[in-house]
Structure formats: C-alpha cells, structure tokens
Homo-oligomer: A and B are copies of this chain.
Amino acid sequence: MEDQFIKTASLIGDPTRASILWTLMDGRAFTATELAVSVNTSPQNISMHLGKLLDANLLCVEKQGRHKYYRFSNKEVAYALEAMASLVPKPEILSKNKPEKYPPIKFCRTCYDHLAGKIGVALTDSLLEQNIIKENNNAFEISIEGKKWFSDFGINLEEAQKQKRIFLKPCLDWSERRNHIAGSVGTLLFNKMKNEDWLRKTENSRAIIVTAKGEKELLKYFKIVV
C-alpha cells in the first residue's frame, strides 16, 4: 500500500499535472487542447500527462468526434484535491506584508455545480432553520412550506424532479467540514443566484464573487452576513 500511495502522491504532485487537476476542479470536462492552453504547455506534453492520469484512474475520457473530453473519474478525486487545497498555508503565515483574509476559494466556491465553502454551508443551515428543507438520516428533503418557498423564489421543482440526476442530497464540504446542498436543487439555487447577479463566476478559478446586490439579498433571504 505504501508504494501505491507514494506513486499516487507523485502523480498528483507534478506541477503540470497538479495544474490540470486544479483546472478540472470545477467539475467541467475539458479537451486536451483546452487543458494545454490552460496549463500553458504543448499538446504532446499534455497528452503524456493525461495518459498518466488516466492510467491511475484519476481521470476518464469521453470521445466526441475528434475531441476528447477529460474529467475526474469519480468524486473522491475532487474531495482529495479539495482536502489538499485546504492545506495551503494561510496568507498570514506565508507573508506578513499581505495581511489578507482566507483565500477566496475557501470562502465561496463551487463544488462541481453547486455552492460550497462558507456560503454553501451557511445557505444550507439557513434553509434547515427556516424549515424549508429537513434532514433525515443523512438525507435532505423539502418540507411542505419549502415547496412554496422554492416556487416563490422562482425555482421550478417539478421540472427538476423529472431529471435523471439526483434531486437533492447532502454533500460534505471540505473546508467547513459540514454538509451543504447538492443535487439538482443545489444547482438550481446556484444558477438562480448567478442569473440574478448575486454571484459571479471568476475566470479559471472555482472561487465565486458575491456582488453588492448578492450581499443584500443573501442577508434578506438567508440572514447570511457576507
């Protein structure tokens, strides 16, 4: 087991591969060329690295025409990378000239396609407190009041329920070590907030920006102080 662990660690530990994995951390699938651009290296080199990541079963591929889409082969990969990201030394320790707060990714970020980080957990807490959702042996369900709330909020639950993907489930947050909402409900909430310009995605990062409008609305709807 030890040498297997070491192999996996070195696999992830190469700068170029770590950068590939970082890029893939927002849950989307990328083509080899896109990754080459994102990571700033040659196609041959990317091909070599992707091959190694595939061999170790960290990534999987889907062929579409002449494109190949790479993504994580399972969620454990994303979890492990998040856990590693949480080890990044905090800016305070790193350099005393830049007394920054927590890195933004820890504060507010996406986990695949739903909100994670502090905001994700606070949102979930608020929904639980307002009895919009209920927890029941490690599963979430929407209450009767909750159904009304979602439709008032402008989210069509019936539509979501028809989808094949999981409707609603708890997802463990790495930095907060607390549950937050995943599944299509999680995605719908996130998309709604994005469309209403409460939140904005940043380029090439999983960090999310809370707009001035978002700050107000999050306080109003969820009593979240940003």
Contacts and interface: CB of A to CB of B under 8 A. Distances in A.
B14 A2 contact: no
Q: Give this chain's copy count.
A: 2
A5 B58 contact: no
B89 A56 contact: yes
A140 to B, nearest CB: 16
A86 interface: yes
A154 interface: no
B84 A80 contact: yes
Contacts of A105: 1
A42 interface: no
Nearest to A103: B1
Contact of A80 (B19, B76, B83, B204): B83
A22 B2 contact: yes
B15 A12 contact: no
A11 interface: yes
Interface residues of A, number: 42
A19 B183 CA distance: 37
Given A1-B205, A13-B12, A172-B177, A87 B103 contact: no
29 contacts: A1-B85, A1-B88, A1-B103, A1-B104, A1-B207, A4-B94, A5-B84, A5-B85, A6-B19, A7-B88, A8-B87, A8-B89, A9-B12, A9-B13, A9-B15, A10-B15, A11-B13, A12-B12, A12-B87, A13-B14, A13-B18, A56-B87, A56-B89, A58-B87, A76-B83, A77-B87, A80-B83, A80-B84, A172-B177
Interface of A: 1-2, 4-15, 18-19, 21-22, 56-58, 76-77, 79-80, 83-89, 93-94, 103-105, 172, 177, 204-205, 207
